[in-house]
Amino acid sequence: GAVVSQHPSWVICKSGTSVKIECRSLDFQATTMFWYRQFPKQSLMLMATSNEGSKATYEQGVEKDKFLINHASLTLSTLTVTSAHPEDSSFYICSARVFRSEAYEQYFGPGTRLTVT
Amino acid sequence: AQSVTQLGSHVSVSEGALVLLRCNYSSSVPPYLFWYVQYPNQGLQLLLKYTSAATLVKGINDFEAEFKKSETSFHLTKPSAHMSDAAEYFCAVRAYSGAGSYQLTFGKGTKLSVIP
């Protein structure tokens, strides 16, 4: 199978601090990783797409200076929420994509619950 | 642009009854369509996907979906609901985002409740 892990699974931080979330593909190499944000009882909204070794592509309305994405290797992408505020509280889900069996397959991590107090 | 619309934000069925979750898509090109399930505080798990092969797609846990081009629909069904099916279900379409890249666009989700 293909497993994507996220760490931490939940985090509480104070307003003004920064939080880093890690996303790892455990048994495959992912050339592309995606970061989504999900508000309570709502759908997933794509924040950014990152390709290994290059800058992330952010969706319209997502502040790239606030949500820093680093895709340092084919198995690791990180999302850093800088100077977090209560409105950044959300469920963040990463996804990793790999090309196999002549098609792209996308696998999702278990998510990280961020609460900013 | 590709998009999906899920009709009904909340569906309740009795245990053992038929499950029907509706999804309509909009796409200017032949779409790839997906159904995902999300349990509370968890990520998404792929139930099934349509990739332009057979129009009736079978997935895990006895779920299936039928691609109907004439109706631009991809409804999810299961003959008999189990309590463990209670979760949030998302329909998604794969959209071309430029420069040879694709991304998933999700519907708003349908919460399925199963009544014992």
φ and ψ of B84, to 5 deg: -70, -10
Q: Do B42 and A44 touch (CB under 8 A)?
A: no
C-alpha span between A96 and B32 (Å, rounded) = 18
Nearest residue of chain A to residue B45 (CA atoms): A108
Report the pLDDT averaged over residues A1-9.
90
- Residue A101 above 90 pLDDT? no
Residue type, B29: V
Q: Do A44 and B106 touch (CB under 8 A)?
A: yes
C-alpha span between B75 and B83 (Å, rounded) = 20
Q: Helix or strand or coil: residue A12?
A: strand
Tens digits of residue pLDDT in A18-61? 999 999 999 899 889 999 999 887 888 999 999 888 889 999 99
* pLDDT score at B100: 64
Q: What is the DSSP letter of A16?
A: T
A66-73 contacts, C-beta under 8 A, 24 or more apart: A67/A35, A69/A35, A71/A33
Lowest mean pLDDT among A3-7, A18-22, B75-79, B100-104: B100-104
Asked if residue A78 lies in contact with residue A92, where contact means CB atoms within 8 angstroms, the answer is no
Strand partners, B46: B36
Contacts with A, B 8-67, CB within 8 Å: 36, 41-45, 51
List the one residue out of B94, B95, B75, B76 whose CA is nearest residue B85.
Answer: B76
DSSP string of A25-88, one letter each residue:
ESSS--SEEEEEEE-TTS-EEEEEEEETTSPPEEPTT--TTTEEEEEEETTEEEEEE-S--GGG
Q: Which residue has the higher pLDDT, A100 or B82?
A: B82
C-alpha span between B95 and B59 (Å, rounded) = 22
* pLDDT score at A112: 95
Q: Do A32 and B90 touch (CB under 8 A)?
A: no
